[in-house]
Structure 1
Amino acid sequence: MALGSVVVCFGEALLDRLGPLGGDPAVDRPVDDRLGGAPANVACGLARLGTPVAFAGRLGQDAIGEAFASLFAERGVDTTLLQRDAVRPSRIVLVCRSLEGERQFQGFAGDEGAGFADQALEPVALPQARWLLIGTLPLATPTSAEALLSAVRQAWSQGMAVALDVNWRPTFWDPVADPVAGPDPKALAAIKSLLQQAALIKLAREEALWFFNTDDPGSIQQALPQRPDVVVTDGAAPVRWQLGDESGQQAAFQPPSVVDTTGAGDAFTAGLLHRWAAAPQERVRFAAACGALVCGGAGGIDPQPTQAQVEAFLGRVS
C-alpha cells in the first residue's frame, strides 16, 4: 500500500457499454465501451485531482481487467487491494442514452453462468486512511456484501470516516427490475444500516425521498444518530447540502457541452473529498464544477478534470 493514501474507494469496477444516442446498446451499433463503476470512477477522479487514493475491488482475468490495471497505473491509483478472478468475468453494464445524453442502466452482458467478478469480492485488510468511500451495490450479493460490511467495521475501528454514495441501481439487485424502480424492503433495510454508519452521505433527490421521506439535507442529518454531513443532488437543479452546522445550495454549472452524463455524480464526489479541507460552500462549488466538466466527454473517467482545469473553469464562470 502506498504511503499516504487519503481515500480508499471500495466496490465495483466495470465496463459501461454506451449505446448510440436514442438507441439500444444490446442490439444497436455503434456502441462506445468505457471503463466505469462508481468507486473506480471516484478513485480515478481523485487521482487526477491529486489526492492519493487506493482502490479495493475485484475484476476478471480478462481484457477489461487488464484495461483497468493499465488505467489505474496511469492515474497513480494504488492497486494493492485489487483482486483478480480467474473464473468470473468483469461486468459489462448496458447503458441507454437519450438524445440529450441522459443515461439509464438497462442490464448486463458478459455473464458466463458464474456471475461477475465484483460479486465475489472478498474481504480486504484496510490501510490507514482518512476516508473509506463506498456505495451500496456490493450489498446486492452475499459475498460482496460481507466484504463491504467488513470494510465498514474496519473503518470504524481504525477511526476512518465512511463516505457513502447511495447510488441506487435496481438492476444490480434484480436484472429484470425496472431501471427507475425504488428499493424493495430487503434493499431498504440493508442500505439503511449503512446510512447509520456514514460520516458523509451523498444522495440523489429520489433516493432521499425513498429512504427518508424528505429531500431536505438538514432533516436527513437530524434523522440519523451520528448526524452526518449530507449532500442531495438533483440533476440540473441546485445541489443542497448540510455540512456540520452549515447549510446551503449550489446551482448546477452549465457544462461547456453535454456528451454524456455518466460519471458526473462520481466526479462530484471526487471533487468534494478532494476539497474537504476548504469551507463548506467552496467544497460544494468545486465538486459541482467537477461534475459539470465530466459531461463534456464520453464515459465517467476519460473526461475527468485536473485541479487546474477545475480552477480555470471556476474562474470563467465566477
Structure 2
Amino acid sequence: MPDVLCLGESMALFVPAEEGPADQVRTWVRTVGGAESNVACTLAQLGVRAGWVSAVGADPFGRAVVAAVAAAGVDVSRVRVDPERPTGVYIKESNAAGSPVRYYRHGSAASAMTPALLAGLDLDGVRVVHLSGITAALSPSCLDLMGAVMDLPRRAHRVSFDLNWRPALWAGGDRGVLRALAARADIVLVGADEAAAVWGTGVPAAVRALLPEPETLVVKQGGIGATLIERDPATGRDRAEVFGPALRVDIVEPVGAGDAFAAGFLAAWLAGGSPLRRLRAGHLQAAGVLRTHHDVAVPLPRELVADLLDADAATWATTHLTAQGVRRG
C-alpha cells in the first residue's frame, strides 16, 4: 500500500514548445497536469510510496495521463475509467509572473466522481490521504466525495488538504465549503494570497484564528517564505510560529510550485522532520518546478538538497538557483 494516497482530477496538459502568446504558438508539448497527481509524482521521486485515485475517460488522453503518472512511479491501480465521459484538458501559457491557464474540463470523467469511488478502498498502511479544494468545486458529487473522505475513520492516517483556490471554478459557489473542509483536515496548506481571497486575510496568525482545528497549518507566502503553526499534542496549544524563508530562484513560470511544496513538506513530515526542515523540504521541491515549464520537475540533485536542508541560515539565504545552476552570495 502507498504511504500517501492522493485523490483528484488530472488532465492532459499542453504547454508551448516555443516563445510567444498562445494565439501565435504553433507547437505544443503534451504532458500531464493535476494538483493531486503532481503531488503523487513528486513524492514518488522522493522515494515515498504514493498512489493516485481518480477517474479518466476511455480515450487516448485518459490512457496517456494514467501512463504518465504510472511511469513516475505512482500506484494508479485505483483509477477508474469512465466509458462515457472524456478526460479533461487544459492549456498553459508560460510567464514568470503567472501563467494564464485555460481549462476544458466541464463534464469530464473526474467531475462525475462520487463517494462510490471509495468502495473497497483499503487504507491499511496509508499514512496520509491528500486532497485539494479543486475537487470540491468540480461538481456536487465530487463535494460529496470530499465529505466521505473526511468521514473515514482516522485509525492510522491523516488527511492533508491544500486549498488550491481556483476562482473560475467557484464563480457563484459557496466559499464557506472550503473553510468547512479545511477545518476537518489534519494538515492544511494554503497560500497567503489564496487565504486573503477566500477568507479575507493572508496573515498566518489571522488565518490560524479563522482555522484553529487542524493539527498543522502552513501558510505559503510566495517568494518570501512559509509559516508553520502546529499544535502541541501534549498541551493542546499551538507552539510558536516557525518561519522558513524561501530560496532565491530565477523563475521560469510558477504553476505547480505549490503542489511540489506540498510533496516536499509531506515527505519530510513522514520522515519526522523538524518544522524548519519540513518547510525547507517544501521550498526545495517548489524551486525545482519554478525553473521549468512543467508541473512536475526533474528533482534537484540529492547532494544539493541534503546540503541545503541542514545548511545554516546564512548559507540558505545566500543560495541562488539560476538556470545555469547554483550561485552563492
Cα distance change of structure 1 residues 88 and 305 upon mapping to structure 2, 3 Å threshold: farther
- 1:227-246 equivalence runs, <5 A: 227-244=214-231, 245-246=239-240
2:15 maps to which residue? 18
Describe the shift of the 1:17–1:72 C-alpha distance in structure 2 as closer, same or farther (beyond 3 A).
closer
Which sections of structure 2, spanning at least 5 residues, go unmatched? 232-238, 317-329
Instruction: Give 1:57's aligned residue.
Output: 54
Query: Structure 1 residues 309, 171: closer, same or farther in 2, change over 3 A?
Result: farther
Paired residue type of 2:104: A
Q: Where does residue 223 of structure 1 map in the other structure?
A: 210
Residues 211 and 101 of structure 1: CA distance in aligned 2, closer, same or farther (over 3 Å) = closer
Cα gap change, 1:312 to 1:61, in 2 (>3 Å): farther
User: Quick one: structure 1 residues 171 and 29, their matched pair in 2 at CA, closer, same or farther if it must change by over 3 Å?
Assistant: farther
Q: CA offset at residue 169 of structure 1?
A: 0.9
Identity of aligned residues (%): 24
Give 4+ residue runs of structure 1 displaced > 6 Å after superposition: none
Higher deviation after alignment, 116-125 or 47-56: 116-125
User: Which residue is 1:116 aligned to?
Assistant: 108
Q: Is 2:42–2:296's contact at 8 Å kept on the other side of the alignment?
A: yes
Q: 1-side partners of 2:179 and 2:225: how far apart?
A: 25
Partner of 1:284: 279
Residue 187 of structure 1 aligns to a residue whose secondary structure is coil
Do the aligned partners of residues 229 and 52 (structure 1) sit closer, same or farther apart at CA in structure 2, a change above 3 Å counting?
same
Cα distance change, pair 214–250 in 1 and its aligned pair in 2 (3 A): same
Rounded Cα–Cα distance in structure 2 between residues aligned with 1:314 and 1:297: 22
Map Cα deviations across residues 40-71 of structure 1 (whole Å, 9 max, x no partner).
Answer: 00000001101111111111122222223222
Inter-partner Cα distance in structure 1 for 2:301 and 2:291: 14
Partner of 1:180: none
For residue 81 of structure 1, the aligned residue among 63, 78, 83 is 78
- Give me the whole-angstrom Cα distance separating, in 2, the residues matched to 1:159 and 1:211: 31
Root-mean-square deviation (CA), in Å? Answer: 2.5
Contact 1:50 1:307 in 2 (8 A): no
How far apart, CA to CA, are the structure 1 residues paired with 2:298 and 2:86? 26
Q: Cα distance, 1:110 vs. partner?
A: 7.1
Looking at structure 2, the residues matched to 203 and 147 of structure 1 have their Cα atoms a distance apart, in angstroms, of 21
Contact 1:221 1:229 in 2 (8 A): no
Per-residue displacement from partner, 1:173-223 (whole Å, max 9, x unpaired)? 45xxxxxxxxx5x33121111011011111111221234333232332343
After superposing the two structures, state which structure 1 stretch, 286-295 or 164-173, moved more: 164-173
TM-score, length-scaled by structure 2: 0.81
- Which residue number in structure 2 is paired with residue 178 of structure 1? none
Q: Does the 8 Å contact 1:49/1:305 carry over to 2? A: no
CA distance in 2, matches of 1:307, 1:287: 14
| 1-structure distance, mates of 2:300, 2:34 | 17
Q: Relative to 1, partners in 2 of residues 1:313 and 1:293: Cα closer, same or farther, differing over 3 Å?
A: farther
Which entry has the higher C-alpha Rg, 1 or 2? 2
Q: 54, 59, 69: which one pairs with 2:66?
A: 69
Structure 1 gaps of 5+ residues are 175-183
Matching residue's letter, 1:296? R
Shift of residue 86, structure 1, vs aligned partner: 1.5
Taking the aligned partners of 1:315 and 1:227, their CA distance within structure 2 comes to 28
CA contact (8 A) 2:277 2:309 kept: no
Q: CA deviation at 1:73?
A: 2.7
Deviation at 1:267, TM superposition (A): 0.7
Return the alpha-carbon distance in structure 2 between the equivalents of residues 104 and 48 of structure 1: 27
Distance 1:208 1:55, change over 3 A: same
Which whole-Å deviations, capped at 9, do the CAs of 1:265-311 have from their partners, x for residues lacking one? 11110000000110000110111011001222221124345755632
Offset from partner CA, 1:6-51 (integer Å, 9 cap, x none): 1110111112223455512x66423333211000000000011011
Aligned to 1:131: 128
Partner letter of residue 108 of structure 1? Y
Q: CA deviation at 1:250?
A: 2.0
Are the equivalent residues in 2 in contact too, given 1:246–1:280 (CA < 8 A)?
Answer: no
Higher relative contact order (CA 8 A, sep 6+): 1
Give the TM-score normalised by the residue count of structure 1: 0.84
Closer/same/farther in 2, CA of residues 281 and 225 from structure 1, 3 Å limit = closer
CA contact (8 A) 2:265 2:282 kept: yes
